[in-house]
Amino acid sequence: MIEFQAVTKRFDDGTVAVDDLNLSVDPGRITVFVGPSGCGKTTSLRMVNRMIDATSGTITVDGNDIRQSDPPLLRRGIGYVIQQAGLFPHRTVVDNVATVPMLAGWPRHKAKKRAVELLETVGLPAELGEKYPAQLSGGQQQRVGVARALAVDPPVLLMDEPFSAVDPVVREGLQDELLRLQDELGKTIVFVTHDIDEAIKLGDKVAVFRTGGVLAQYDKPSELLARPADNFVASFVGRDRGYRALGFLPASGLPIGELATVELGATAVDARSALRDGWAVVVDGARCPIGWVSEKHLATVDGEISRDSSLSGGSLYDVDNGSLRSALDAALSSPSALGVAVDSTGAVVGSVTADDVLSALAAARTAGEVPQ
Amino acid sequence: MTWVFDHLGLLGGLTGTHVYLALVPLVVGLVLAIPLGWLASRSRPARAVLLSVSGLLYTIPSLALIVVLPGIIGTKILDSVNVIIPLTIYTVALLVRSIADALTSVPATVVAAATAIGYRPLRRFASVEFPLAVPVVIAGLRVAAVSNISLVSIGALIGISGYGVLFTDGFQLGFMTEIVVGVVATLLLALVADALLLLIGRLLTPWTRAGR
Amino acid sequence: MDFVSFLTSWLFDGTHWTGSDGVPARLSEHLGYTAVALAIAVAVGFPLGAAIGHTGRGGLILVGAANGLRALPTLGVLTIVVGIAGIGLVPPITALIVLAIPPVMAGTYAGIRAIEPITVDAARGVGMREWEVLLRVEIPNALPLIFGGVRSAALQVVSTATIAAFVGVGGLGRYVFDGLAVQDYAQVASGAVLVAALAIIVDVLFIGLQRLVVSPGLTSAKSKGTSS
């Protein structure tokens, strides 16, 4: 879809921002460019819509050499989302989103109608349309930026550190939103970030750049974590990469053990008799886990088991979609050392142990699913 | 050029008057503008009133102000106060805004730190807030100085001395040299004043160049 | 107050409101000079400031020139132009134009340069051509400062047009100079008050116009920008 062939960018002052880049971006997928500052990731992105022209080499989009196209026309066919959104302060939200359709010559009412639709697509209420960017929060502005980029339904989206200026909680929401949107739209997205966690979360494939504009590794995130090409990539992906790599291993073969449960409202005496190895999970009417009770703990409880009288539990492991990482985390964060496994409705189905997770990892290694 | 050398005495005298007429309003204006600017930075209503009044005063053409003053305050028409007061008004009008903005932009953490150390408000203003506002105040003073120096000439229209006399005389006599000398002298004086203020600003705020 | 009675005695004298030296005639002369000079200054200064602001080339020269021109004594400029071109309408209007161009040009330039680079980057990124970037993004966002420049140019022209009467043309300044010549203080003061009133009215008109033309998104952006 997007091809870099021997692309080099040398700026007027002699610095080489991108050095002989060869890379092919898969259609309909999210490709993340990641690396420290000065690694040429943003320059590489901006060369795709000719915001910067390459010094040498060829970039093709859909097989067409971009040097053959008129830059403004090329850009109108490629969505562009930047840091802090870059909304036009003098235009309302709707007018911002309608910018590209208007440039493309759509009639005004059609462009506005499309803009209102898009606000809904990116999860914003239509009433925001008449506000000005300055009246929006950072996260809302960024959503408007995405809506503006989607306005003429371009097959390609370029996103240059779009979420770096918003706070971590909002950023996580925006990332989830992007993944949801991508499931629906299936765009070819090139996403630049300096945050390796964001790259691993969002990327179908991740290109790690090193200072000086050299591509260090281009791979699936799981491969990047499991098999970093060199010390630079290893140190860039970080210390916990072994643990994080578990996130890419499905836990479908993991044995599910038995788990004692007690319903809310049961008496302390009933609860005591239900304990298994000294522990039981408190569940509600839909068998969703509320917390834990233990032998020692029950000695302090009078009467019925309530929400307040149960010990808070750890993370939950979803047996249908969970990874080894989530199974291990469920076990490690549980007060009883038993991870609570739930089905897709959230109902308790059994338990997992850390030992079982490690055995499953060993089995995966033997089967060659995990590189040595 | 020969005209300049033949009239050095005249030019020297005019320069003295011109500097006096431009400098006094600058100093008096600064002294008046500091408390007013402080007030404007402290209270929203005061800010609204002070800024609209100074905006209004700044709007009044200089010649109008100069010729109306004798009627209002009872000075003689040839009194140099008639020039000094309007220029002072313009200087205050210009500086109140600069000082208010500068004081508002002093980081709240710095003010809080100064208070926590134990400064009383007046002392804190003098040793922390105002020094931090100095760069903006100097910028305002530079504009005011240049504009005062240029405006003093208007006084010549009602017979008050300064370089403006060279324009009125030159015009009446049809003698271009004199006018050109007046314009050049005004520009030079403005340049010197501007450079001096820039220098004073640098000496007063050594920290602005640290680490840059 | 005898100042007020001075004023009222002159201003309420019906004979001062008719004829070629009556207030309406002088006022329309004054406004005429102002309008012509301001229009030409905007026609020259605005495109120059916009071009330099858009390309970023020559900005230092422009700012330096604008500052230098501010130091020029109005009366000196006026008398020099008369010295070169002789008595008539052209010299004062030329002087007024020379004085009005720098604020218009500097305001336009500063307005365009003050726009966040990211906004301009986004404009190019969504596929605007250079003229579209200038016309649809840079100029609308620079309007507050452009208006600021035109407003101060207008004030300077109204004020200097008064002084222009010194070199023998019409306008409200005539009352000041004719009054000074014959020591008719009531006439001097009335002329001055009329000029001051005119300046304030012109200023208020420009503020009103600015409110009408500038996008509300920019004023709300400003109030938010200072709080962060």
Q: What is the mean pLDDT of residues A203-226?
A: 92
Residue A302 has pLDDT above 80, yes or no: no
Is A90 in the same domain as A203?
yes
The minimum CA-CA distance between B78 and chain C, rounded to whole Å, is 12
Give the architecture-level CATH label for domain B2-204.
Orthogonal Bundle (1.10)
Q: What is the mean pLDDT of residues A173-196?
A: 93
* B190 vs A312, residue with greater confidence: B190
Helical (H) or strand (E) element with A269: helix A268-274
Q: Tens digit of pLDDT for each residue in A100-129? A: 999 989 999 999 999 999 999 999 999 999
Which of A226, A248, A270 finishes a domain? Answer: A248
Q: Which of residues 186-205 of C touch B (CB under 8 A)?
A: 188-189, 191-193, 195-196, 199-200, 203
* A119 vs B120, residue with greater confidence: A119
Mean pLDDT, chain C, rounded, equals 87
Amino acid occupying residue A33:
F
Chain A: residue nearest C137 by CA? A88
Q: What is the mean pLDDT of residues C93-109?
A: 90
Is A144 in the same domain as A188?
yes
Phi, psi of A136 (to 5 degrees): -105, 155
Contact C176 B71 (CB under 8 A): no
Phi, psi of C193 (to 5 degrees): -65, -40
Is A240 in the same domain as A327?
no
Is A206 in the same domain as A353?
no
Residue B190 has pLDDT above 90, yes or no: yes
Q: Kindly tell me whether chain B and chain A come into contact, counting contact as 3+ Cβ pairs under 8 Å.
A: no
Residue A368 has pLDDT above 70, yes or no: no
Annotate A320-369 with DSSP letters as a single string: TT-BHHHHHHHHHHSTTSPEEEE-TTS-EEEEE-HHHHHHHHHHHHHTTS
Q: Is A315 exposed, middle or buried (0-12, 13-18, 19+ CB in 10 A)?
A: middle
Q: Domains in chain C, ordered, with CATH?
A: 28-172 (1.10.3720.10)
Residue C228's pLDDT is: 30
Q: Is residue A372 part of a domain?
A: no
Is A110 in the same domain as A181?
yes
Residue C225 has pLDDT above 70, yes or no: no
Give the structural domain span for A50. 2-248
Q: Tens digit of pLDDT for each residue in A21-48? A: 999 999 999 999 999 888 999 999 999 9
Is A76 near chain C, with CB under 8 Å? Answer: yes
Q: Kindly tell me whether chain C and chain A come into contact, counting contact as 3+ Cβ pairs under 8 Å.
A: yes
Is A183 in the same domain as A330?
no
Is A356 in the same domain as A297?
yes
Rounded to whole angstroms, how far apart are CA atoms A130 and A18? 41
Pick C73's closest partner by Cβ from B61, B143, B163: B163
Pick C159's closest partner by Cβ from B61, B167, B170: B61
Residue A359's pLDDT is: 86
Is C124 near chain A, with CB under 8 Å? Answer: yes
Q: Tens digit of pLDDT for each residue in A86-98? A: 999 999 999 999 9
Pick C3's closest partner by Cβ from B71, B171, B183: B71
- The residues near C192 (Cβ < 8 Å, ≥ 6 apart) are B61, B63, B64, B65, B67, B68, C175, C176
Which of A248, A273, A300 finishes a domain? Answer: A248
Annotate A124-182 with DSSP letters as a single string: --GGGGGS-GGGS-HHHHHHHHHHHHHTT--SEEEEESTTTTS-HHHHHHHHHHHHHHH
Contact A134 C221 (CB under 8 A): yes
Residue A217's pLDDT is: 95
- Cα A134 → chain centroid: 27
Q: What is the mean pLDDT of residues A154-159?
A: 95
Q: Is residue A254 part of a domain?
A: no
Is B99 near chain C, with CB under 8 Å? Answer: no
Q: Is residue A225 part of a domain?
A: yes
Is A128 near chain C, with CB under 8 Å? Answer: no
Which of A248, A274, A309 finishes a domain? Answer: A248
* A253 vs B115, residue with greater confidence: B115
Chain A: residue nearest C215 by CA? A90
CATH number, domain containing residue A269: 3.10.580.10
Q: Tens digit of pLDDT for each residue in A50-76? A: 999 999 999 999 999 999 999 999 999
Is A230 in the same domain as A331?
no
Q: Is residue A368 part of a domain?
A: no
Is A220 in the same domain as A282?
no
Preferred mutation among C126, C210, C213 to probe A, highest tally of A CBs within 10 A: C126
Residue A370's pLDDT is: 60
Rounded to whole angstroms, how far apart are CA atoms A119 and A144? 7
Residue B211's pLDDT is: 57
Residue A372's pLDDT is: 45
Contact between residue B25 and residue B84 where contact means Cβ atoms under 8 Å apart: yes
Residue A301's pLDDT is: 77
Is A285 in the same domain as A244?
no
Q: Tens digit of pLDDT for each residue in C162-197? A: 988 888 888 999 999 998 888 888 888 899 999 999
Is A296 in the same domain as A242?
no
Rounded to whole angstroms, how far apart are CA atoms A102 and C90? 46
Name the domain count of chain A.
Answer: 2
Rounded to whole angstroms, how far apart are CA atoms C183 and A143? 71
Q: Tens digit of pLDDT for each residue in C25-47? A: 999 999 999 999 999 999 999 99
Phi-psi region of B63 (alpha: psi -120 to 50; beta: other; left: phi over 0): alpha
3-state SS class at B11: helix
Predicted complex ipTM: 0.81
Residue C131's pLDDT is: 95
CATH number, domain containing residue A198: 3.40.50.300
Percent of chain C with pLDDT over 70: 95
Is A84 near chain C, with CB under 8 Å? Answer: yes
Q: What is the mean pLDDT of residues C116-137?
A: 94
Mean pLDDT, chain B, rounded, equals 89
What is the 3-class SS of B186-200, one letter each residue?
HHHHHHHHHHHHHHH
Residue C220's pLDDT is: 58
Chain A: residue nearest C228 by CA? A134
Is A13 in the same domain as A122?
yes
